[in-house]
Amino acid sequence: MLEIEKLIGGVLIALTACIGFASCSNVEDDKKPNIILIVADDMGYGDAACYGNTNLVQTPNIDRLANEGVRFTDSYVTAPLCAPCRYGLLTGVYQQKFGVRWNVDATLNLSQYGIEETLEDTRIPKPIEIISEPLERAGYSSVLLGKWNLPMYPETTFDESYSTMHFVGDFFPDQEGLYKGVDGVPAQHEKARHLWGPVNEGDEYLTDRIGRQATEYIEKHKDSPFFMFVGFNAPHTPLHAKKEHLSQVEHLDSEALKLYGAMLYSMDENIGKILSALDKHNLSDNTVVVFMSDNGATFAYPVNWPEEWEKELLGSNGNLRGHKAQMYEGGIRIPLIIRYPGVLEAGQVFEEPVISLDLYPTFCNIAGVVPHHNKQLDGVDLIPFLNGENSGIPHDILYWYGENKGAVRQGKYKYLNYKGEVELYNLEDDISESEELKAIKPEILKELDDKYYAFINSLPAPVNPNREDKFNPDKR
> In whole angstroms, what is the distance from residue 41 CA to residue 324 CA?
11
Integer CA distances (angstroms), 15 to 12, 30, 368, in order:
5, 21, 12
Q: Which CATH number fits domain 399-471: 3.40.630.40, 3.60.15.10, 3.30.1120.10, 3.40.718.10?
A: 3.30.1120.10
Amino acid at 303: V
Query: What pLDDT, on a 0 to 100 scale, did the predictor assign at position 473?
Result: 52
Angle between helices 82-91 and 359-367 (to 10 degrees): 30
All structural domains of the chain with their residue ranges: 32-93+128-394, 399-471
Query: What pLDDT, on a 0 to 100 scale, did the predictor assign at position 29?
Result: 61
Query: What pLDDT, on a 0 to 100 scale, did the predictor assign at position 21?
Result: 40
Consecutive 10-residue averages of pLDDT for the chain (476 residues): 38 40 46 97 96 89 98 98 97 97 89 86 94 98 96 91 94 95 86 88 97 98 98 95 98 94 98 98 98 94 78 93 97 98 97 98 98 98 97 97 94 96 97 98 98 95 72 52
Which of left, alpha, beta for 137 (phi over 0: left; psi -120 to 50: alpha)?
Answer: alpha
Smallest Cα–Cα separation from 396: which of 453, 441, 354? 354
User: Considering the entire predicted model, what is its pTM?
Assistant: 0.92
Query: What pLDDT, on a 0 to 100 scale, did the predictor assign at position 471?
Result: 44
CATH 3.60.21.10, applies to 32-93+128-394: no
Query: What pLDDT, on a 0 to 100 scale, did the predictor assign at position 3?
Result: 38
Query: What pLDDT, on a 0 to 100 scale, did the predictor assign at position 11?
Result: 40
Radius of gyration over alpha carbons of the chain, in Å?
22
Query: What pLDDT, on a 0 to 100 scale, did the predictor assign at position 238?
Result: 93
Query: What pLDDT, on a 0 to 100 scale, did the predictor assign at position 311?
Result: 86
